[in-house]
Structure 1
Amino acid sequence: MRKIKILAISTSGLARKEGISTVMLDNFSRFDKSTFDLHVVAAGVYCHELLQEFENVGVSIKCLPSRKASLLLYVKSLITLFKKEKYDALYIHGSSAIMSIELLIAKVCGCKTRVVHSHNTTCDHKKADKLLRPFFYNLYTDAIACGEEAGKWLYRGRPFFLLKNGRDVNKYRYNEEVRCETRKKLGVYEDELLIGHVGNFNKQKNQKFALEIFTELLKKNNKAKLYLMGSGILLDKTKKLAVEMGLKDKVTFTGSIGNVNEMLQAMDVMILPSLHEGLPLVTIEWQIAALPSVVSDVVTSECAYSDLVTFLPLDNAITWADKIVEVVKLNRSLIAEKQVELTKTAGYDINQNAMELQRFFKDRCKG
């Protein structure tokens, strides 16, 4: 039996492990490789460790020139790839109509199933997005969105398939032993309050405001510590700002780490002061881990399937600090199993999501 051959592309690239690449990896790792032949594009700069993770789960990597640095070379290489491999489906992830480039190539090369997956509620290049919208709507055959708002943003009233960004509930569920072990490794005392944030260092994630919130929190609890997990173009600038604000000994920059699930056990509360988001994966992980969180009110309310998430506007750091003090009074052990069940009921179990996605492609590519 011939396998269904799929080419997956993330318009945000594979330079680091972030939301979209994590969703792709987690879903594809659960695909039946006797039924599917999965390929992923790595255009331009890429993370070797991330590519190795894809290969370890049976996904083939196709390295192409950078989309941003040399669009013409990228287009030529992608055309060559489609003609050689004769894909049954293109599965492209992004947040704007700029995906029309890949969709047009796939259509011209005879790829009949062209699936778009929306991951955000806005985009960085609004002029290009607006210009390409009329073409975009005529180039894809199927639409997927991680949430209702992300679907409304990209498809503008057109039908789409809702596929939630599930997580591995066994990996993130709260574990008291792991909490104690991780805090011991971090060298923190039992009475210290640990605030966490996970995200790439860029304008969207708004780590500058996170530092402002933490400054106000220290006035209420001088035993608090802030852990900023992730990397990105604004990492060095944010480190410098922390020093200027007198927070050098209170803020830890972990960089990109592979044990975020363990770090979540050690934290007491999480913050997400983003300027915009689709449906953030991290909020799902935090709820599975029975962690209270304070999130900016521009983030879609769809991400909250339990009462552990509090939404606040980005206008007052003092309000955020007050809320952190309020929500942190929680016995996580008592609600650990409840949070796992809530996650499954809400549709955020990655095993179930991967099964749905496989059925989707089997149906679209049959024959």
Structure 2
Amino acid sequence: MTIRRVLHIVGKMDRAGAETMLMNLYRHIDHSQIQFDFVTFTNEIGDYDAEITALGGRVIPILAGHSLTRMLKLKKFLKQQPDYQIVHAHMLLNNAFHLLAAKGAGVPHRISHSHSTSNGKTNIIKKIYEQWALITNRTLATKRISCGDHAANYLFGTTKDVWLLPNAVDIQKMISVANQSRHYINQEFGAKRLGDEGLKIIQVGRLNEVKNHQFSLEIAEQLKKRQIDFTLYIVGQGPLEDKLRRQVKEQTLGGNIKFLGMRTDITELMASADYMIMPSLHEGFPVVLVESQTVGLMALVSDQVSPEVDLGLGLVCFLPIQSANVWVDSLLSFQPPISNEAEIMNALNVHGFSAATNSQKLTQMYLNMR
């Protein structure tokens, strides 16, 4: 049987939401039938590049300083590589350029995949671009996929004829790792100041404006004012890191906040934390919230995040992002439910979050594209 190679369009294969979802599927997919390759727009090495190569995939950098130039280079590449009959784009509004390139190169199957509920742009020029990109996505995509209803409505204006593909995880592996990692934070960081009674809070996400770390620091400040013994572990990197570190120093929060950078042990960290916070300005369907519920971690989440993320396990609490004190009150008053492994596995399977199952569905979709 000839292996079908699918070309995924991403910015860079780092440990971010859409990229992690892709890797969860890629690890489970039948590589004797389907192989993934990835176009990136950087010459920097991504977190997942080595694993992609080990799994038989290719990482193909296309370098250009402007979206139009990238589009022309992608079109040229696709014309030179006619074996790519499926292009699967994951960059929200920028999918418009990738679909145009694929259409111009004669690629018959063009997938636009929505991973977010907003582009977060407000000025008039960006609004005009947004409208053009939305129309182009809806016109040129031969297949529409979304992580949830809200993300589908944003990019496609409807959920009709959109395949909802939840952000799946390796359920059994995560639960197994979590069960062995309940004291991981104390072991990893020594816990010289903190005992088990110290509040351990984790935030996972790129250090950019959308993730609203500024609000997280307000929460930390209020916790300190109330003389609460706590540590906030910030996992991720991004353009705001230097600014956030300066602010932590200025507010003398250094003893309570740890910047952990990019990590490969996020499951272990979540399994041993008391709470996760996600005060994001907007989100699609964050993989990390599926992961947090898989390991039984209580998450306090911005009410700007789609309610679809709540799997009914009592592990997600939506809060407004106007008052840090409201979040502090919740952190100090909530009693997270005792996680039931069978209940968690059932909820994840019922809601379609099994990477093994979803990879089978994705394989069949690709094979049916003739």
Per the alignment, residue 4 of structure 1 pairs with 4
What secondary structure sits across from 1:144 in the alignment? strand
1:224 paired with 2:230, answer yes
2:270 to 239, 264, 267: 264
Aligned partners of 2:315 and 2:336 also within 8 Å: no
In 1: Cα distance, 2:343 partner to 2:95 partner? 40
- Under a length normalisation based on structure 2, what TM-score does the superposition of the two structures give? 0.91
What is the CA-CA distance between 1:345 and the residue it aligns to? 1.8
- RMSD across aligned positions (CA): 1.8
What secondary structure sits across from 1:274 in the alignment? coil
1:359 paired with 2:364, answer yes
In 1: Cα distance, 2:37 partner to 2:333 partner? 47
What is the CA-CA distance between 1:181 and the residue it aligns to? 4.1
What is the CA-CA distance between 1:185 and the residue it aligns to? 2.0
1:94 paired with 2:91, answer yes
Per the alignment, residue 164 of structure 1 pairs with 166
Q: How does 1:80-119 map to 2 (within 5 A)?
A: 80-86=76-82, 87-96=84-93, 98-119=94-115
Once structures 1 and 2 are overlaid, which stretch shifts more, 204-213 or 47-56?
47-56
In 2: Cα distance, 1:73 partner to 1:133 partner? 20
In 1: Cα distance, 2:77 partner to 2:66 partner? 17
What secondary structure sits across from 2:253 in the alignment? coil
What is the CA-CA distance between 1:94 and the residue it aligns to? 2.5
Q: Residue by residue, what CA displacement relative to the aligned partner does 1:316-343 show, whole Å, maximum 9, x if unpaired?
A: 111100111122x3464x5244223222
2:51 to 50, 53, 66: 53
Aligned partners of 1:147 and 1:279 also within 8 Å: yes
1:335 paired with 2:337, answer no
User: Structure 2: which amino acid aligns with 1:320?
Assistant: W
- Under a length normalisation based on structure 1, what TM-score does the superposition of the two structures give? 0.92
Per the alignment, residue 314 of structure 1 pairs with 321
Once structures 1 and 2 are overlaid, which stretch shifts more, 338-347 or 42-51?
42-51
Aligned partners of 2:67 and 2:97 also within 8 Å: no
Per the alignment, residue 281 of structure 2 pairs with 275
In 1: Cα distance, 2:132 partner to 2:68 partner? 19
Q: Residue by residue, what CA displacement relative to the aligned partner does 1:142-181 show, whole Å, maximum 9, x if unpaired?
A: 1000000000111112520100001111333274542224
In 2: Cα distance, 1:64 partner to 1:14 partner? 11
Q: How does 1:80-229 map to 2 (within 5 A)?
A: 80-86=76-82, 87-96=84-93, 98-123=94-119, 124=121, 125-157=126-158, 158-173=160-175, 175-188=178-191, 189-220=195-226, 222-229=228-235
User: Structure 1: which amino acid aligns with 2:29?
Assistant: F
Aligned partners of 1:280 and 1:303 also within 8 Å: yes
- Give unpaired runs (5+ residues) of structure 1: none
Aligned partners of 2:315 and 2:337 also within 8 Å: no
Aligned partners of 1:272 and 1:294 also within 8 Å: yes
Extract structure 1 runs of 4+ deviating beyond 4 A: none
In 1: Cα distance, 2:92 partner to 2:103 partner? 20
Aligned CA distance change for structure 1 residues 185 and 136 (closer, same or farther; 3 Å)? closer
- Give unpaired runs (5+ residues) of structure 2: none
Aligned partners of 1:7 and 1:91 also within 8 Å: yes
In 1: Cα distance, 2:355 partner to 2:43 partner? 28
What is the CA-CA distance between 1:137 and the residue it aligns to? 2.2
User: Structure 1: which amino acid aligns with 2:302?
Assistant: S
Aligned partners of 1:94 and 1:120 also within 8 Å: no
